[in-house]
Amino acid sequence: MLRDVNLDISKTHLVSKKKQTIVAILGVTFGIAMFILMISFMDGVNQYIEDTMLEATPDIHIFNDVKTDYAHSIANDYFRDSNKLVTVLHPKPKEITLNIKNAEGIIADIRRNRDVVAVSPLLSTQVFYNYGPVQINGYINGVNITEETRLSNLEKKMTEGKAEDLLASDNGIIMGKGLAKKLNVKTGDLVSLTTPSGSTMRFRITGLFQIGMGAIDNVKSYVNLSSVQQLLNKDRSYITDINVKLKNNKTAKSKAASMAKKYGYRSDDWQTINAAAMAGTFIRNMLTYVVSFTLLVVAGFGIYNIMNMSITNKMKDIAILKAQGFARRDIVQIFLSQSLFIGFIGAMAGILLGFILSYMLSRVPFPDNDEISWKYFPVLFRPVYYIFAMVFGMLTTFFAGLAPSVKASRIDPVIILRG
Amino acid sequence: MNEILTAEHLNKYFHEPEDFQVLKDVSLSVKKGEFVSLIGKSGSGKSTLLYLLSTLDTDYEGTITINGTTVTGQTQNDLAKFRNENLGFVFQFHYLLPEFTVLQNVMMPARKLGKYGLREIEAKAIEKLKLMEMDAFAAKPSGKLSGGQQQRVAIARALINDPIIIMADEPTGNLDSLNAKIVFDIFDDLARNKGNTIITVTHDTDFARQADRIIELKDGRLLQ
């Protein structure tokens, strides 16, 4: 009964000022809806980037880093005499081989590790793609396609042909879709590849893949490891990189460090490789939260304002209620419940509107683009956003309503009633 | 000993705009069923005294006992509950809640008390309105009534919890003479025939004269 009468007064106040109530509710609704739309879209973008860029990079990448150390010269060895000072001006770097020595042993050793899902040796080189008079700069990755498929989800990215087709063909090549388009080639066509050192080989296209990032799809191809070794005139054990996929990629950083120490080659984890992309994700998240928070705070100020105005208008009512025996907490209840009602209805409507807007955005076709292969705007639908929005909306309105309600409860009836 | 209200050695100070003693060692008692008028010039402290007795103002020295309960020093929440149960208020202005109907306004203190069900409260409210000859207006919004009618509704509201004391602050102060007469008669009837205890502040000498006892204040002291 006690709660009943307070809520009854609260309800009557809200109903008697419909316009004001609706405006306050709309403030919360738009705040929440925009929050949901923004976070769904931004997380959609982040998720996409993680799925493409981060999945396209291995958890750990082991390679032989180019060392630019010119301190030692063979001249020292030649004039082996401690009485002579040998100075070589402007030395040229000696010919260095970037391969990983004892790659077989390292791969076998890594494979013994229980946290490792896949290990893929890699030999990469820059090439010119020639098809008729067209010549395009790019690179090829010589891989063991079975291992590579396990490592990078390549099978899912294939738009034509199958990844294993590479094994069956002698000089097969799986080409990026954007690159194939530029060269105007189709599956089954022959392209010739020229290395910087001048050797040339012809490959037959067995399939096309699309990662979704122009930066990869327009320049990259996969061939068999042996083909690249042949192209570069290297022996069968010559590889430059080892890629590793872990069961849990959160452990990549520490694993990479231990591998670097153990094998003596540089080992980068995926976070280091994608530092720029990670920073982008972080900035987008930050932006989303700042803008959403601002929207909700503005809505909160709207409620604060309306509640304050309402309480100023109802000083007499509050005074007489207190004289009649309504305690301070009753007054707080009467006014805070109005604020919470506005918050609740506003948040519910905001969740609905947010969902509708998100859904509509997810059906909007993304402008055709070479760089990013989006059919529609990427939007995620996760219950946690909606729960978070609800909680956030209720909290905002609670705090917006609290101060005016407490102020109302502190009104001294004597001052008002004496006139 | 059928004293229902006792006040002993009340002192009250105002600190704004400067220190000033409004009530000086005021002691009084009111018997059950008594109709008491507090009169005095403007600034004599009569309204201040009423607000002390009504427990709304708690910033004073001395003790007040109502119906055997010492109200001095109780918490605001306890006092709110006490007022709800034991006191009825009528002010110079009606202070009805404008968004509610006449009936809802009268029912409000009883709903707060929560002693009876909604139906019983409604029946009681109608009965009190009948007493004021206002039952025909029960369903009207309180803002649609004339000043005199509103004051009668306010009196009905004051009676809803069968208070042991009715406190009134210039109940006729804002009314024309006809309506003032009606309110006089109501108070008279409540005191004489219904056995209510009434303490009222007034500057209307005709109204004051109807009381069993007139207490006059001058410069914060009782004149008796």
ipTM, two decimals, is 0.88
Lowest-confidence region among A48-57, A194-203, A211-220, B112-121: A48-57
Mean pLDDT across A225-248: 88
Q: What is the pLDDT at residue A174?
A: 93
Contacts of A324 in chain B (CB under 8 A): 83-84, 89, 108-109, 112, 157
Q: Are A324 and B108 within 8 A, CB to CB?
A: yes
Percent of chain A past pLDDT 70, that is, above it, reads 95
Q: Are A324 and B112 within 8 A, CB to CB?
A: yes
Reduce the secondary structure of chain A to three states and give it as a string: CHHHHHHHHHHHHHHHCHHHHHHHHHHHHHHHHHHHHHHHHHHHHHHHHHHHHHHHCCCEEEECCCCCCCCCCHHHHHCCCCCCCCCCCCCCCCCCCCCCCCHHHHHHHHHHCCCEEEEEEEEEEEEEEEECCEEEEEEEEEECHHHHHHHHCHHHHEEECCCCHHHHCCCEEEEEHHHHHHHCCCCCCEEEEECCCCCEEEEEEEEEECCCEHHHHCCEEEEEHHHHHHHCCCCCCCCCEEEEEECCHHHHHHHHHHHHHHHCCEEEEHHHHCHHHHHHHHHHHHHHHHHHHHHHHHHHHHHHHHHHHHHHHCHHHHHHHHHCCCCHHHHHHHHHHHHHHHHHHHHHHHHHHHHHHHHHHHCCECCCCCCECCCECCCCCCHHHHHHHHHHHHHHHHHHHHHHHHHHHCCCHHHHHCC
- Asked whether the predicted pLDDT for residue B3 surpasses 50, the reply is yes
Nearest CA in chain B to A317: B97
Contacts of A3 in chain B (CB under 8 A): none
Question: Which of B51, B93, B112 has its CB closest to that of A325?
Answer: B112
Q: Which is more confidently placed, B43 or A385?
A: A385
Q: Are B80 and A2 within 8 A, CB to CB?
A: no
**Does B203 contact A at CB distance below 8 Å?**
no
- Asked whether the predicted pLDDT for residue A350 surpasses 90, the reply is yes
Contacts of B169 in chain A (CB under 8 A): 417-418
Q: Are B89 and A323 within 8 A, CB to CB?
A: yes
- Nearest Cα of chain B lies from the Cα of A301 at a distance, in angstroms, of 26
- Asked whether the predicted pLDDT for residue A69 surpasses 70, the reply is no
Contacts of B112 in chain A (CB under 8 A): 2, 5, 324-326, 330
| pLDDT, tens digit, 9 for 90 and up, residues A307-329 | 888 888 888 888 888 888 888 88
Q: What is the pLDDT at residue A3?
A: 46
Q: Which is more confidently placed, A161 or A292?
A: A161
| pLDDT, tens digit, 9 for 90 and up, residues B130-159 | 888 888 888 888 888 888 888 889 989 988
**Does B164 contact A at CB distance below 8 Å?**
no
Res. A361 pLDDT band, cuts 50 70 90: very high
User: Best of A4, A320, A415, A416 to disrupt the B interface by mutation (most B CBs within 10 Å)?
Assistant: A320
**Does B184 contact A at CB distance below 8 Å?**
no
Lowest-confidence region among A38-52, A93-107, A167-181: A93-107
Q: What's this model's pTM, rounded to 2 decimal places? A: 0.73
**Does A316 contact B at CB distance below 8 Å?**
yes
User: Best of B14, B15, B95 to disrupt the A interface by mutation (most A CBs within 10 Å)?
Assistant: B95
Q: How many pairs of residues across A and B have Cβ atoms under 8 Å apart? A: 79
Res. A68 pLDDT band, cuts 50 70 90: low
Nearest CA in chain B to A415: B57
Res. A221 pLDDT band, cuts 50 70 90: very high
**Does B14 contact A at CB distance below 8 Å?**
no
**Does A409 contact B at CB distance below 8 Å?**
no
Average pLDDT, chain B: 86
Q: What is the pLDDT at residue A2?
A: 42
Domains of chain B (ranges; CATH) run 3-223 (3.40.50.300)
Q: Are A325 and B97 within 8 A, CB to CB?
A: no
Q: Are A12 and B113 within 8 A, CB to CB?
A: no
| pLDDT, tens digit, 9 for 90 and up, residues A99-131 | 888 888 888 888 888 888 889 898 988 999 988
Q: What is the pLDDT at residue A70?
A: 67
- Asked whether the predicted pLDDT for residue B224 surpasses 70, the reply is no
Q: Which is more confidently placed, A357 or A368?
A: A357
Q: What is the pLDDT at residue A71?
A: 66
- Nearest Cα of chain A lies from the Cα of B187 at a distance, in angstroms, of 19
| pLDDT, tens digit, 9 for 90 and up, residues A241-272 | 999 888 887 888 888 888 888 888 888 888 88
**Does A1 contact B at CB distance below 8 Å?**
yes
**Does A329 contact B at CB distance below 8 Å?**
yes
| pLDDT, tens digit, 9 for 90 and up, residues B7-29 | 888 888 888 788 888 888 888 88
Q: Are B76 and A419 within 8 A, CB to CB?
A: no
Q: What is the pLDDT at residue A1?
A: 42
- Asked whether the predicted pLDDT for residue A94 surpasses 70, the reply is no
Q: What is the pLDDT at residue B185?
A: 85
User: Best of B42, B49, B74, B108 to disrupt the A interface by mutation (most A CBs within 10 Å)?
Assistant: B108
| pLDDT, tens digit, 9 for 90 and up, residues B192-202 | 888 888 898 98
- Nearest Cα of chain B lies from the Cα of A5 at a distance, in angstroms, of 6
